[in-house]
Structure 1
Amino acid sequence: MLDAREVFDGLTQHDQVSWTSMISGLSRNGDRKGALLMFKRMLVSSVKPNCQTFVGVMSGKTGPEEALVNATMLHAQIVKRGFESNSFLISTLVDVYSKCGRLGQAEVLFYDTEEKEEVLFNPMISGYCFNARYEKGLRLFAEMRERNLSPSYHAVTSALHACGSITLLQQGREIHALLIKLGSEFNIYVVSALVDMYSKCGSVEEARRAFDQTVEKNAVMWTSMILGYAQNGKGLNALELFKIWKKECDFRPDHVSFTAVLSACVHSGLVEKGLEYFGMFKNVYGIVPDQDHYACLVDLYARNGQLEKAKELMETMPQKPNHFMWSSFLSSCRDYGEIEIAKKTADKILLTETRDASSYIVLANLYASAGLWGEAAEVTRSMNEHKIKKNVSAGSWV
């Protein structure tokens, strides 16, 4: 891109095409800052930006905070230049605002646009689901179909994710039927979303059927099906599928695959298998274990009563144990009545910087169940001192 910039700067005159090409090229090649600086140079020149220029400068990837600042500035320029009726520009802004957590601003843009096209519905549906507003996302998806508009793959996968997240199996099946009607049921990303949705809704058999009907499978799809089995208590099925995957010529496991296989071992109580796979991923495939992998191993030990080994692993692992590990470990101490082991780890929990209340609550309940009311009161006092509040219990959809 340096040569292209030198050529651009060497020109005596520029028009909208040259400015826009330069800005888009910088943005596409990851130089978002350079694209923005070039856009600002254009604003003070005699050549004014058009819609394609704005699309070019907004197409690059950046962090949420920087993206929000840039989007706000570009939004003001879009309004100033009179492009606020351009559906493609508005859809891009809706997408950026949604991903930055500014769902309200995205909604204002969407609902203030009178003529809503497919290009506008798709990012709004995805935005709702990205921000866990699943009901709104599914209602908008239904409205889009009532208008005979075709959803994008991204919107469909978002709707399937919503169905899985709030266990709407029947609605997920209806979306699956729509995909068959549209001839899109074999798209790799859509099938991965179908597998995930069916698994989360407890229908792992339907997940497997969707998986088997797809000829070309990528790592995401294999991992989704393995994780689906694990989450539904079918760890042996998950490990059997992993063996089949290993025979495939394109076997390329990653960190997520690593977690899925270990989760299957956890749910099936297969300690030796879990240790075997942990070593395999680490030594054979060169995947450096992260905190999630160590958490699975700690959980595997703890759930099977090997609390000393779980404790030793937390003390020697490269990363600092988080509150999920402590909470899981203490829950196992409670299940196995190991008060002394829990006592030994109490100080470490109370000294951690985590603001999550779960470890404290599990520890207090453990002491209380053993009749150690003084220790239970000490944990409660520590929570009050650090102003750690108990999370409000969630409501049941049932």
Structure 2
Amino acid sequence: MYVKCGLLDNARKLFERSVDDRNVVMWTTLISGFAKCERGIEAFDLFRGMMRESILPNQCTLAALLVSCSSLGSPRQGRSVHGYMIRREIEMDAVNFTSFIDMYGRCGNVEMARKVFDIMPERNVISWSSMINAFGMNGLLEEALDCFDRMKSQSLVVPNSVTFVSLLSACSHSGNVREGRKQFESMTRDYGIAPEEEHYACMVDLLGRAGEIREAKSFIDNMPVKPMASAWGALLNACRIHKEVELAEEVAEKVLSMEPGETGVYVLLSNIYADAGMWEMVNCVRQKMGIKGYRKPVGLSATQVG
């Protein structure tokens, strides 16, 4: 119950009192909870405790650890989990294969992600989408599109909304606005998939990264649904990249009206003012953060080297 509600510290305290009843299911539930909440260091700490008690992990345990590897950007720990499964001859299911593809892709090792994908006995829409995403997030748009074409040639695999999030993200990382527009239109026209929040946010991010700030703002204004914070957040980040101070102020106000406690907006706005040399405004934003009791999040690198 505590894990489902996100009360992980309470769950761990209760778990630590249950010394005699701990089994692989209980360990996995707790590890999975920490992994999903991007508390990967603690998830691995729990895993080490599990191993000290000579309780062997199952496929679900290892899948949760791979989620932690992705969030931590830790290829070393990811390879360690992969090696453990090979040494123990643990049979991998589609979830494990896909988790490895996602982990290697997020850690920048596209070749390893491709090797895992190639040895999969069966591939479903999730595994195809993960491979497209792995290419895309590493700036390999042509490979992502080729993978999508191969996916479409499989008669039993039909692209879904997640596939198009991966495709649009790939276009955004590569700055290919034309291809992004093409895929966004194709999603509804050819597959009957209605755009969701993530698709709109990807398009705003694509336009914004490419420097088409006003068009990105127009895209949001003309959305058939109420724009969510993710779309406004993508535009705010574009304002930072292209030093659009006035628009950034307007967008920040929109985001904070939806998510008043989002400290990242204050930090981003402060950085935009700093880049423009507007130090009085920087101090003003920091004072607001202080009054509200917000603190700047600690910066972490995305990928562990080695």
For normalisation by structure 2, the TM-score amounts to 0.83
The DSSP-based 3-state class of the residue aligned with 2:2 is helix
Specify which structure has the bigger relative contact order, considering alpha-carbon pairs within 8 angstroms and separated by 6 or more residues: 2
2:68 aligns to what?
Answer: 162
Counterpart of 1:150 in structure 2 is: 56
Deviations 1:333-365 (A, max 9, x none): 34434456557x459638834312444544454
Find 1:106's aligned residue among 2, 6, 11: 11
1:258 aligns with 2:164: yes
- Counterpart mapping for 1:66-215 below 5 A: 96-111=1-16, 112-114=18-20, 116-145=22-51, 148-215=54-121
The aligned residue for residue 277 of structure 1 is 183
SS in structure 1 at match of 2:3: helix
Cα displacement (A) at 1:327: 4.0
Tell me the residue number matched to 2:132.
Answer: 226
- Can you list the C-alpha shifts for 1:45-70, whole angstroms capped at 9, x where unaligned? xxxxxxxxxxxxxxxxxxxxxxxxxx
Task: Report the alpha carbon displacement of residue 189 of structure 1 after superposing the two structures with TM.
Answer: 0.7
Deviates more, 1:313-322 or 1:359-368: 359-368
Deviation of 1:250 (Å): 1.7
Distance change >3 Å, CA 197–CA 372, structure 1 → 2: closer
Q: Could you tell me whether the CA contact under 8 Å between 1:349 and 1:359 is conserved in 2?
A: no
Task: Give the letter aligned to residue 254 of structure 1.
Answer: N
**Which of 221, 226, 236 is the equivalent residue of 1:315?**
221
Q: Is residue 301 from structure 1 mapped to residue 202 from structure 2 by the alignment?
A: no
Partner of 2:259: 354
Task: Please point out which of 253, 278, 285 is paired with 1:380.
Answer: 285
| Long gaps (5+) in structure 2 | none
Equivalent residues of 1:98, 1:131 under 8 A apart: no
RMSD between aligned residues: 3.2
List per-residue Cα deviations over 1:65-105 (Å, max 9, x = no partner).
xxxxxxxxxxxxxxxxxxxxxxxxxxxxxxx3322223344
Residues 116/213 of structure 1: CA separation in 2 closer, same or farther (3 Å cut) = same
Q: Percent of counterpart pairs with the same letter?
A: 34
Distance in 2 (CA, whole Å) between partners of 1:338 and 1:182 is 55
**What amino acid sits opposite 1:264 in the alignment?**
A
Larger-Rg structure: 1
- Corresponding position of 2:239: 333
Q: Pairwise mapping of residues 15-30 of structure 1 onto structure 2 (< 5 A)? A: none
The 2-side partners of 1:346 and 1:188 are apart by 41
Distance in 2, Cα, partners of 1:324 & 1:174: 34
Q: Distance in 2 between matches of 1:106 and 1:278?
A: 42
Q: Partner residue of 1:288?
A: 194
Q: Cα 1:362–1:321, aligned 2, differ >3 Å: closer, same or farther?
A: farther
1:128-153 Cα distance to aligned partner (Å, 9 max, x none): 32343323322332344455543222
- 1:378 and 1:102 mapped to 2: Cα distance? 35
Q: Which amino acid aligns with 2:65?
A: A
How far did residue 391 of structure 1 move? Answer: 3.1
1:357 and 1:388 in contact (8 A); partners too: no
| Equivalent-residue separation in structure 2 for 1:354 and 1:320 (angstroms) | 15
Is 2:273–2:282's contact at 8 Å kept on the other side of the alignment?
A: no
Kindly indicate whether the alpha-carbon contact (under 8 Å) linking 1:346 and 1:363 is maintained by their aligned counterparts in 2: no
| Equivalent AA in structure 2 for residue 270 of structure 1 | N
Matched residue count: 301
Match of residue 299 from structure 2:
394
- Give, in angstroms, the shift of residue 264 of structure 1: 0.4
In 1, Cα distance between the equivalents of 2:246 and 2:217? 12
Specify whether residues 150 and 357 from structure 1 end up closer, same or farther in structure 2 by C-alpha distance, changes over 3 A only: closer
* Alpha-carbon shift at residue 259 of structure 1 (Å): 0.7
1:329 positional shift: 2.3
